[in-house]
Amino acid sequence: MRDILDAVAAGDLSPADAEVQLRGYATTDNGRFDAAREQRRGVPEAILGEGKTPAEISDLAATAVETTGRAIVTRTDEDDVTALHDRFDGEDVSVDHDHRAKTVVVHEEGYEGPTLAATVGIVTGGTSDAAVAGEAAVIAREMGATVEFVEDVGVAHLGRVLDHLDTLRESDVLIVAAGREGALPTVVAGLVDTPVIGLPVPTGYGAGGEGRAALDGMLQSCTIISVVNIGAGFVAGAQAGLVARAVDGARDA
């Protein structure tokens, strides 16, 4: 901080520029700060569809496209998707609806997102994991990572896990989604030397249901994994994206 202030005193830096730099160090006004943060962290802002009307979602998406060239909408239902298609009808944008992940991604024509020389592997145990894992995939891709899916492998089907070991080992970071007893991340982490992020899926009933047994089991894992909250596909995808960025940065250097 002293350097900046010395420069101001010396007349080498205008007060206005100093303010920008100092605020960049800690504070800024709302709009610009968010932009700085998104640019710096590389974690895109997403519009959570849940709890919003199709009209609200469309407006937010339009603003996002205008501002950043891209909109990511998560947890959409059919009405949301229709509204988004209607809104961007006739405009120079691509509207991609991932049915299983319940996400819609809008890209302005010519939009060039980040590209990372790193792969995020996403492993799921079954179809009930698809929505949460898909959300993770969309975020990781939008952060620039290559995403490889290994699906329908489960602890009750060890063979399927073993068949995909090469793919698992070639990823730079793995997201392993699992509901019910949530043992899959433990099994996978025992077989690879890749960092594994456990993603509990809100399935299951009775004691430990709605993903609680899965979360607790991952926290208790006898292997090395870190975890995110139940159903937090966005967080898992973005954390994997941050690891991919670190790896990409090292590859660049």
Question: Least Å distance between CB 54 and its own copies?
Answer: 18
Q: How far is CA 224 from the centre of its chain?
A: 21
What's the min distance (Å) between Cβ of 98 and its own copies?
19
Q: Which is nearer to its own copies, 95 or 137 (CB)?
A: 137
Name the packing angle between helices 2-9 and 15-25 (round to 10°): 180
Residue number with CB closer to its own copies (3 or 89): 3
Contact assessment for residue 129 and residue 84, using Cβ atoms and an 8 Å cutoff: no
Shortest separation between residue 138's beta carbon and its own copies, angstroms: 15
Q: Which residues contact 86 (CB under 8 A, 6 or more apart)?
A: 58
Burial of 114: CB neighbours in 10 Å, binned 0-12, 13-18, 19+: middle
Binding flag, residue 172, its own copies (CB under 8 A): yes
55 binds its own copies (CB under 8 A): no
Comparison of 62 and 191: residue with beta carbon closer to its own copies: 191
Q: Does 64 bind its own copies (CB under 8 A)?
A: no
Q: What is the DSSP letter of 182?
A: -
How is residue 155 written in tokens? 């602890």
Residue 200 near its own copies by CB under 8 A: yes
Q: Which of residues 126-155 bind its own copies (CB under 8 A)?
A: 152, 154-155
Residues 91-120 that bind its own copies (CB under 8 A): 118
Residue 90 in the binding site for its own copies (CB under 8 A):
no
Verify binding: residue 54, its own copies, rule CB under 8 A.
Answer: no
**What is the closest distance, in whole angstroms, from the C-beta atom of residue 52 to its own copies in the complex?**
10
Q: Which is nearer to its own copies, 108 or 192 (CB)?
A: 192
Kind and range of the H or E run holding 23:
helix 15-25
Can you point out the beta strands (E) in 79-171? Answer: 93-98, 103-108, 119-124, 146-150
Rounded to whole angstroms, the Cα distance separating 186 from 136 reads 19
- Smaller CB distance to its own copies: residue 90 or 220? 220
Specify the pairing of strand 103-108 against strand 70-74. antiparallel
Q: Per CB under 8 A, does 156 bind its own copies? A: yes
